[in-house]
Amino acid sequence: MFSNILGKEKKSKNDSKLSELKEKISKMNLTEMRSYVNNKLNNLQVTQEGLVEIIKVLTLENETTGKRYLNIDDMDSKIKKALDLVIVIASSKKVTVALVEWIQQFITLYDDNIIKNFDTQNKQIYSSKLKKALKQAVLNVNSKAILDQKMKTLDFS
């Protein structure tokens, strides 16, 4: 059960499903990613692994192009959608330790140039919103761990 909270991947028949999910997420745009996170896509059920894959797409460089998903010269609407998506992911009930680490990496990577630049140009406060969402995600993981520990105590009684 703790592996569920920690976000450890299970090695089994789900490897093919996971690779299929990675493929679908890599082809999604921000609107489709948001629909997936909000569980509004008919053909896909939101999972912890899917949320991690979305954050990876936003954070890591693309293997073929060598560019990250967000760049300093992107349109403000794209940056705003991506930042809102990260906030929604952080508030998800399926948050794990691995997901929190990826969110933290996203914030660290984009905070100096893209987030602060977007905040000053558009008079927004996404820097503080993202940090608040990260803090809430950590609290959610902690509460899940405490609940899991209580459930294990009750099972052994």
Write out pLDDT tens, residues 28-87. 999 999 999 999 988 889 999 999 999 999 999 988 888 999 999 999 999 999 999 999
The position carrying tokens 């997420």 is: 25
In angstroms, the CA 22 to CA 20 distance is 5
Name which of 44, 48, 37 is nearest 9 in CA terms: 48
Q: What is the pLDDT of residue 157?
A: 55
Could you give the 3-state DSSP secondary structure of residue 83?
helix
Domain boundary assignment for the chain: 13-156
pLDDT in tens, 115-146: 999 999 999 999 999 999 999 999 999 999 99
In angstroms, the CA 10 to CA 13 distance is 9
CA dist list (Å): 101 to 28, 31, 90, 110, 141: 22, 23, 11, 14, 11
> Residue type at 130?
L
- What global pTM score does this model have? 0.86
Q: What is the pLDDT of residue 152?
A: 87
Evaluate if residue 14 carries a pLDDT over 80.
no
In angstroms, the CA 144 to CA 153 distance is 14
In angstroms, the CA 98 to CA 86 distance is 14
